[in-house]
Amino acid sequence: MGKRSRTAKRRQERDEDLVFISSQLKWFLGIGASAILVYLNALGNGFVYDDHFLVEGSWLVQNQDFASVFTTHYWAGYAGNETVHYRPLTVLSLLLDGLGGVNPFRYHLTNLILHIFNSLIA
């Protein structure tokens, strides 16, 4: 009887683990699908507001100056800009998205993927 009860207990624990994993997977898929549904329409849009400055007008992005990513501030290269924001990962993301040319779809897709990832780890 002892061996049978241990086997039954292991089977029950395994079944409980599968139910828990299945439940978690449903939540992850639901959160990911929600983010996609909400932001999917942005993929076909162009640049807006400060995107024109940060992507199309940025000498860091246009010249693909990877060496300056970690030594310059976010708004580097704009006349009259006194504000300094050090955001190297954001600038690096903009540079990587711009490697194949300036295409808004790529930038929006990266933001959507980052949003989904952040939603899932929250």
Domain-wise residue ranges, the chain:
42-122
**% of the chain residues with pLDDT over 70:** 68
Helices then strands, counting H and E runs in the chain, come out as 5, 0
| pTM summary value | 0.63
Taking a C-beta distance cutoff of 8 angstroms, is the pair 91, 74 a contact? yes
Evaluate whether 109 touches 43 at the Cβ level (below 8 Å): yes
Tell me how far apart the alpha carbons of residues 41 and 68 are, in angstroms, rounded to a whole number: 33
For 38-88, how does the pLDDT look when each residue is reduced to its tens digit (9 = 90+)? Answer: 888 888 888 888 777 777 776 667 776 777 777 777 666 665 555 667 777
In the three-class reduction of DSSP (H, G, I as helix; E, B as strand; rest coil), residue 94 is classed as helix
> Rounded CA gap, 50 and 63, in Å?
18
